[in-house]
Amino acid sequence: MNLLLTGSFDATERDRWRALLTQAMPQHHLVVADELFDRTRVSVAIVANPPPGSLRGLPALRLIQSLWAGVDRLLADDTLPRDVPIARMVDPALATAMAETALWAVLSLHRGFFVYQRQQRKAVWRELPQRRAEDLPIGLLGLGHMGRACAAALVRQGYRVTAWTRAEGEYDGRPDGGRERRDGVAHVHGPDALWPLLASSSIIVNLLPLTPDTRGLLDARCFKAMPRGAAVVNLGRGAHVVEADLRAALGSGQIGHAVLDVFEHEPLDAGHPFWRHPHVTVLPHVAALTDPRSAAAVVAANVQALVDGTPIAHLIDRTRGY
Ligand code: NAP
């Protein structure tokens, strides 16, 4: 089978992927986008946010396999072949990394470590009251592969976690979608359930996919619905947050601190006020990076499923957007 590797990565990253994918699938022929190859023979495109138009003119294409978990940028390319299934990256190593980041952010907020960081810069020796994990209810937006790993890590640490999803799903067997606990995580779903969740959460951790329904979700109304001084941890996508509204909420003290890994425009402009904001912690979109060592095996398993005619794992639903 002919496989095409294409993405917006540099030559070193591309060569690493090429080596590991070739090692995982020696029986297949892998080409990279900037080499000469026969476009009519490509069956699988292995992609990492390729430039728009990259997948045009591939008549034999049967599968698009993303190397990244989020597919919002890929789906924004309206030249994408319409009838070819798209699988996204789901790898336990990725979820573990995300859980580590979520736990670090929540622990740092809970124990005041960002405040102590500010105090250190001014040589201030001052003790904050020590709160218990159960004193800070956590609202988790999204309970997918990432959300579930984060919820498990937070529950293990003693936090009370309530997760919000689109549909009732498999998490609670109750038609009313009530606060049935499963694995220690309470679950609510649907637009109406968002408001009580915001109102009862000290920290909101966002792990939603970016879709037309979730774009701009975290806006002034949401921040106002949260308890004064609550914190926001955005590990999903930058466009979930209305940046101007967040700045205003931080300015008024309505939001006490924001940990932001993702931004509307990346990389974050050097002059962006978030860089120097005392109540914002900036990460350069590193909450969970795909690890090529394990991800190459995930890709190989899906390519093998295509060869065998068995179900392809982790296909996205294009109409839903994730
Ligand atoms: P996933 O498995 O597709 O799960 C998505 C979750 O969001 C599901 O629980 C889904 O609800 C919920 N959801 C979707 N639309 C919703 C809506 N309108 N209202 C309420 N809930 C909604 O995705 P994942 O693998 O956990 O990844 C989530 C996101 O994390 C990715 O899309 C990506 O943007 C981000 N990510 C970030 C990084 C980083 O480094 N910062 C790394 C990897 C991923 P249902 O259960 O009802 O479907």
Ligand 1 geometric centre to CA of 46 (Å): 21
Cα–Cα nearest to 222, from 194, 243, 202, 247? 194
Helix (H, G, I), strand (E, B) or coil at 38: coil
pLDDT for 265: 97
Asked if 62 and 20 touch (Cβ cutoff 8 Å), the reply is no
Which tens digits make up the pLDDT trace of 244-262?
999 999 999 999 999 999 9
Our answer on whether the CB atom of 236 is closer than 6 Å to any ligand 1 atom is: yes
Our answer on whether the CB atom of 261 is closer than 6 Å to any ligand 1 atom is: yes
pLDDT for 183: 80
Neighbouring-strand partners of residue 6: 47
pLDDT for 259: 99
pLDDT for 170: 61
Ligand 1 geometric centre to CA of 117 (Å): 31
pLDDT for 179: 53
Our answer on whether the CB atom of 70 is closer than 6 Å to any ligand 1 atom is: yes
pLDDT for 124: 98
Residue 127: CA count within 13 A, CB half-sphere? 3
Ligand 1 geometric centre to CA of 71 (Å): 10
Contacts of residue 133, defined as CB under 8 A and 6 or more positions apart, other chains included, come to: 110, 157, 158, 159
| pTM, full prediction | 0.96
Helix (H, G, I), strand (E, B) or coil at 54: coil
Ranges of the chain whose pLDDT falls below 70: 170-182
Answer yes or no: 285 catalytic. Answer: yes
Our answer on whether the CB atom of 185 is closer than 6 Å to any ligand 1 atom is: no
> How far apart are alpha carbons 99 and 83 in whole angstroms?
34
Query: β-pairing, 138-141 with 161-165?
Result: parallel
Domains of the chain, CATH where assigned? 2-91+290-308 (3.40.50.720), 92-282 (3.40.50.720)
Q: Which of 66, 68, 165, 262 to mutate to test the pocket of ligand 1 (most atoms within 8 A of CB)?
A: 165
> How far apart are alpha carbons 322 and 311 in whole angstroms?
18
Residue 163 tokens, joined = 């997760």
Residue nearest to atom 27 of ligand 1 (CA): 146
